[in-house]
């Protein structure tokens, strides 16, 4: 299964024939094991260039749209990479951006933002890394559509940054995350990870941490979320 998957992926990346690749994947399906194809696709393209990741992401999108690939297979295929992504970041500093580039095409009608964030948060919450990936996803979305459209997507998802915090986090911290307005959403997601990894739990410490971060005006922040 893995060998055949890699062969299909390499041929697809060479000729970019979505129709042929979809047909081959449909024939490949063996007892609902296409999560293996997704995993191999992620592993094969993660460290290549942005165009390659974009093509792979659009193939995932087309397979989802055609009903060849199920959402459960898609999420299962990504889960293995997500579980080790924090360790991978040591050797691949931009791993979160690369994962976002692979994922974002499926948000064009294949999977809802709400479903994607909820499912991806499951393996990432234990290592406090959900926020950094979701911030990268939002950044890419803002390059593809207007800031207002991205804000609307976030509102429609009915999610809060507090939804991506472990249950053990102090209640005051969760209240603070919920009370901050939408325009800070990307910064909140990134900061949540940092605060959690430093085991900050009291209101005073959280407020101090937020005070430092909110004064930073780095290029990585989205203008529409400041």
Fold type of domain 2-163: 1.25.40
165-207 pLDDT, tens digit each: 655 554 544 454 454 444 455 555 555 555 445 443 433 333 3
pLDDT category, 208, cuts 50, 70, 90? very low
pLDDT at 185: 57
Q: Which of 71-75, 98-102, 164-168, 221-225 has the lowest mean pLDDT?
A: 221-225
pLDDT digits (tens, 9 = 90+) for 74-90: 999 999 999 999 999 99
4-15 per-position pLDDT tens digit: 999 999 999 999
The reported pLDDT for the residue numbered 149 is: 83
Rounded to whole angstroms, the maximal C-alpha distance in the chain is 58
Domain residues of the chain, as ranges?
2-163
């Amino acid at each position: 299964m893995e060998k055949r998957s890699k062969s299909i992926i390499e041929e697809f990346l060479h000729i970019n024939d979505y129709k042929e690749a979809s047909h081959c994947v449909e024939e490949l399906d063996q007892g609902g094991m296409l999560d293996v194809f997704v995993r191999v696709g992620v592993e094969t393209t993660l460290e290549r260039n942005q165009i390659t990741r974009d093509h792979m992401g659009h193939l995932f999108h087309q397979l989802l749209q055609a009903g060849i690939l199920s959402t459960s297979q898609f999420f299962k295929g990504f889960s293995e990479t997500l579980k080790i992504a924090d360790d991978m970041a040591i050797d691949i500093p931009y791993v979160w951006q690369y994962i976002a580039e692979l994922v974002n095409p499926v948000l064009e009608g294949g999977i809802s933002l709400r479903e994607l964030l909820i499912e991806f948060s499951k393996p990432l919450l234990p290592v406090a890394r959900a926020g950094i990936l979701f911030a990268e996803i939002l950044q890419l979305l803002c390059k593809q559509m207007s800031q207002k459209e991205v804000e609307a997507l976030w509102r429609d998802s009915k999610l809060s940054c507090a939804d991506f915090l472990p249950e053990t986090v102090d209640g005051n911290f969760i209240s603070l995350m919920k009370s901050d307005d939408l325009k800070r959403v990307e910064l909140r997601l990134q900061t949540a990870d940092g605060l959690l990894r430093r085991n900050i739990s009291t209101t005073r410490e959280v407020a101090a941490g937020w005070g430092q971060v909110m004064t930073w005006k780095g290029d990585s922040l989205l203008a529409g979320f400041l």
